[in-house]
Structure formats: C-alpha cells, structure tokens
Structure 1
C-alpha cells in the first residue's frame, strides 16, 4: 500500500495504463487491509476512467461489499451489494 502511494506521488506523467494499474493495486491492498474508504476511492477512480469491464466491475463491487461487511459497516455493505 505504501509503495502504491510512493509511485502515485512521483513527479512526471503516467500513462493511463500505469494509473489504472496503480489504482487496481491500491484497491486490492486496501481491501485486504480492511481500509474501506481507500477501497471505495480507488474503485470510484477506476470506474470513472472507463477502463473497467463489466465482469471486473462486478468483482470489485463484491470486494467492496465484503470489505464493508468485515468492517462491520452493514449499511455500506448493503449499499455496495445492491449496486
């Protein structure tokens, strides 16, 4: 997670593919660490980029819902599960 933050903070331009890869890594790391806010932020950035396929989007939505449930935030788990 810290490495993803360091790479994101570097000066210079990144390609769309590099930014997308960083956001995917950040989302996976945050979900694994139970960091719901970072997981959601990373998903929303990826989703806004238009680079997510429908199957991948569904997988990430399930991950966010599961992360929220494990964090005992049942309201957000339900909300993200219904998306």
Structure 2
C-alpha cells in the first residue's frame, strides 16, 4: 500500500520555483526584450553616409538601462524564496 502512494507522489510535478517566481521571470524577460527592441535601427543604408541617429538617447541610455533592470529582476526572481508568500 505504501509503494502505491510513493508512485503517485513521484508522478506529481514538483517545480523548483513558485508561480510568483515565474511571474517575475516573465516580467524580467519582457524588460530585456523591450531593451533590445529599443536598440534596433539607427543605421544607414549607404555605408558612406553617417547617420547620427545611432547615438540617440534611446539607444545609448534607455535601452541598456532597461536590459540591466531586466537582468536585475531575473536575479531577484531566482533568489526569491518560493516558500514565502
């Protein structure tokens, strides 16, 4: 009888993280993706023409800051204790 209970307990999925951890991980991934999306563009089709838009505030300051914030959220999500609610 005890063996049957152990087999049923083994079939249950035991996740390392809680729902709260995964929620923070998705938020962090969203920040990272948004940062990379904001970095897109600013180039020139003609290599002989310089486009100063590549050095815009959005690409130099905002996008890397969002990526670093996203990595910070990811670290927090990993280190968050799943047992505390």
Q: Same fold (TM over 0.5)?
A: no
* TM-score between both structures, scaled by the size of structure 2: 0.33
Indicate the structure with greater helix content. Answer: 1
The structure with the largest alpha-carbon Rg is 2
Larger RCO (alpha carbons 8 Å, 6+ apart): 2
* TM-score between both structures, scaled by the size of structure 1: 0.33
